[in-house]
Chains A and B, each alone.
Chain A
Amino acid sequence: MASVEELSPASGPVSARLREDEIDDDEDEDLDETLVERLWGLTEMFPDTVRTAAETSAQCSVSVLKKFYSFSRSALWVGTTSFMILVLPVVFETERLQLEQQQLQQQRQILLGPNTAMSGGMPGMMPAAPSIGKV
């Protein structure tokens, strides 16, 4: 009987007040929690194994990315400086030689006519150098 009376509209305001308080408390709780915490809370629905697996894979991939980044930095540095010291002087000199020979050929062509210009006419041309563009 008491329950019926409680459920009657006469006891309305009390329960309404209670519900309002509850609703207020709920809203307060919503305002205190940040978005990140709410999203994090969503992960609690997954079982533990899935959570730990995801955590370790995420950590692994982050550390691998870091190592790869530092490795690529040092590899790029070492590669560039080694190329600069070991290969660049030879490249400069061969390019200069090629340009000189091209110029000589052009001069010969201008001086003696187009038939006398020969590619590969200079003795001792380097076999390793790329072929001269103009014939």
Chain B
Amino acid sequence: MNLIRKHCAHMGSVLALSSNPGHQNWPFSKDHLPSRWDAHPAHWDRPPRWERRDGRLPNPGSFHSLHRSCKDVFPHQIEGVKMIINKTLSSFFKVSHTLHLSAVSPSYYRFHVEHLQSDDYSKDKDAPALIGEMDSSGSLNAHALLHLTERVRARTVFQTQQSQFVTWQFETEYRGSDFTAAVTVANPDILRESVILVAHFLQSVSSGLVLGGELVYHRGRAEEGGILTLAGQYSGPNWVATLNAGKGGAHASYYHRANKQIQVGVEFEASTRTQETTASFGYQMDLPEANMVFRGMINSRCIIGGVLEKRLTPLPATLIMGAFVNHKGDKLQVGLGVNVG
């Protein structure tokens, strides 16, 4: 059971890699190129579902992005001093160097390379891409996203910890007109006879409602088991409510866009394995005139956190300052970062 949770966490972290460090916008018309700070009234990574096009239901997107609009409102925990230098070598190639000095974990230098097969920055995140990341300790993180046909996409992920392979997974996704089906094979090991199979299915039922499920089957030498999770998402003009419920726990989230500047997210997680429930409240304030974005969150574990991103306008640099305080244990985590380019 621990193995399956570890792999699910790995898959989650793996997907976090493919999202940009900033927060991207879905262009409603490809005529204008939205700047980083000019977000559409609702934050989606696919067209909003309430808009019927040609009278048919739109595609629901991938299973992993069900909770994404709510999760993007919450601040990421940053620790130590981080410097990220992004360079765009050409319209396809992007390179970034990261230096992280940390008090609790070993410091590292990381080299990140992206080859996007589309030259439009505002394009869908699932555009075909090759992404590679290499650490100063020798850890590799590689993603390949390929569009095999117009409707079929394949994704491959390799992750190593120094010289040992931690994750190797292969995913195939089929995007139909109003449904999405995906199959993932994670860590297939012939020698140890272990594998984790994940199947996702999402169906647009009505203009605002998406229903689906996830089936995880894991097999090891000693154990074998399957977990079924049902998912549903209902969205309105400026809000989204999502629920995942299964034997392993429940995860409910609500995202609301109050106005052009304020977005709010509420999340509730319950896990049967750790017998813990957590409720979180997060908000995001965009002030493009002041060139800043502030994200704050407060937790039922008595953790509060705030992260401020400020664009230093004449320079192409962003300053990121964040602090997380655990009131119960009286602990503090402070982070400072600079993004150049």
A residues bordering B, Cβ < 8 Å?
78, 81-82, 85-87, 89-90, 93-94, 96-97, 122, 124-128
Which residues on the B side are within 8 Å of A126 (C-beta)?
261, 287, 289
Tell me whether B265 is interfacial, beta carbon within 8 Å. Answer: no
**In the assembly, what is the distance between CA of A69 and CA of B290, in Å?**
41
| A78, B328: Cα distance in complex, Å | 10
- Give every chain B residue within 8 A of A93 (Cβ-Cβ): 287, 290, 292, 294, 308, 310
Q: How far is the CA of A128 from the CA of B289 in the complex (A)?
A: 13
Closest to A82 in B: B304
In the complex, A97→B262 CA distance in Å? 17
Residues on B with C-beta less than 8 A from A127 are: 259
Residues of A within 8 A of B259 (CB): 127
Instruction: State whether A86 and B327 are in contact (beta carbons under 8 Å apart), knowing that A93-B287, A97-B289 are contacts in the complex.
Output: no
What is the minimal beta-carbon distance from B34 to any residue of chain A, in angstroms? 15
Contact assessment for A89 and B305 in the assembled complex, using a CB-CB cutoff below 8 Å: no
Q: A78-B327, A85-B323 are in contact. Are A124 and B288 (CB under 8 A)?
A: yes
Check if B250 is an interface residue, CB within 8 A of chain A: no
Is there a chain A Cβ closer than 8 Å to B8's Cβ?
no
For A122, the closest partner residue in chain B by CB is B289
Contact digits for B22-34, partner A, Cβ 8 Å, 1 yes 0 no: 0000000000000
Contact A86 B306 (CB under 8 A): yes
Q: Number of contact residues on B: which range applies?
A: 20 to 34
Taking the closest CB of chain A, its distance from the CB of B262, in whole angstroms, is 8
**Are A94 and B306 closer than 8 Å at their CB atoms?**
no
Q: Does B325 contact A (CB under 8 A)?
A: yes
B219-244 CB mask vs A (1 if < 8 Å, else 0) is 00000000000000000000000000
Q: List, in ascending order, chain A residues with CB within 8 A of B296's CB.
A: 85-87
Pair A85/B294 contact, Cβ less than 8 Å: no
Q: Please, which residues of chain B bring their CB within 8 A of the CB of A81?
A: 304, 325, 327
Task: Kindly list chain B residues whose C-beta atoms are within 8 Å of the C-beta of A94.
Answer: 287, 290
Interface string of B245-263 (1 = CB under 8 A from A): 0000000000000010110
Minimum CB–CB distance from B245 to chain A (whole Å) comes to 31
CB neighbours (8 Å) of A86 from chain B are 296, 298, 304, 306
| With A124-B289, A126-B261 as contacts: A89 and B308 at CB distance below 8 Å | yes
Determine which of B288, B294, B304 lies in contact with A89 in the assembled complex, contact meaning CB atoms within 8 Å.
B294
B280-322 vs A, CB cutoff 8 Å, 1 = contact: the mask equals: 0000010111101010101000001110101000000000010
- Give the chain B neighbours of A125 by CB distance below 8 A: 289
Known interface pairs A96-B290, A126-B289; 4 further A-B residue pairs with C-beta atoms within 8 A, sorted by A's residue number: A78-B327, A85-B304, A89-B294, A93-B287
What's the Cα separation between A127 and B259 when bound, in Å? Answer: 10
